[in-house]
Amino acid sequence: MSYQSLIYLVGPPGAGKTTIGRRLASALSTTFIDTDERLAHSFGMPCGEIIRTRGLAEFRQAEAEVIRNTLAETGIVSLGGGAVETPAVRDMLREHTVVWLDVSPAEGVRRTSGDTNRPLLAADDPLARYIALRESRTPLYSDLCDMRVRTDQCSPQQAVAKILNWCEDHPDTHPPTTNPEALEHGETVF
């Protein structure tokens, strides 16, 4: 693999992409980018509201553009759970390091229950809906990922440690640090 300046975090809702992404970026002294936060800022409303008012197709198109804009940046990028459903997004990710953060359906539902900003999970049977979404996306996550971490089997700190260890074993794939002292010496900090 060639040297990469980005690590993309993918996975189902509640897998910990934002929590782990922030901690991973901090550990690497690099930036953290949450594409859902950028979308919400761009539209001036939460992602769930964008989907409800503009529709899923417009949301996915805007999401792909936000992801395209991250290609010129460095750091850790957290994607929305369904971003991988868009073929253009999958094409973009193939050239970068992708970490699949996975979680069991029961834990994913527990972590997202009561979150009204997730209209795609709204259902009479949240567990069945979560399982269906997860099953449809799992082949996409699996096809794209360079590594997989089960976040219901470890703490956020342990997940970060697993990713850092993987990066150490795959030095051509990790992002550069934004720590100025390390950059002066040509080092990547872990």
**34 marked among binding-site residues:** no
15 has binding-site annotation: yes
Angle of CA points 77, 112, 70, to nearest 5° = 15
Distance separating alpha carbons of residues 128 and 144, to the nearest angstrom? 25
Q: Is 44 within any annotated ligand binding site?
A: no
Place of tokens 């094409």: 91
Tell whether 36 is in a known binding site: yes
The reply, when asked if residue 186 is annotated as ligand binding, is no
Residues 6+ apart with CB under 8 A from 93: 8, 10, 84, 144
Residue 53 annotated as binding site: no
For residue 76, report the phi and psi dihedrals to the nearest 5 degrees. -105, 130
Q: Is 108 annotated as a binding residue?
A: no
Check whether 137 is labelled as a binding-site residue: yes
Question: Does the annotation list 60 as a binding residue?
Answer: yes
83 annotated binding-site participant: no
Q: Is 138 annotated as a binding residue?
A: no
Instruction: Name the binding residues.
Output: 14-19, 36, 60, 81, 118, 137
Instruction: Name the binding residues for substrate.
Output: 36, 60, 81, 137
Instruction: Name the binding residues for Mg(2+).
Output: 18
Instruction: Name the binding residues for ATP.
Output: 14-19, 118
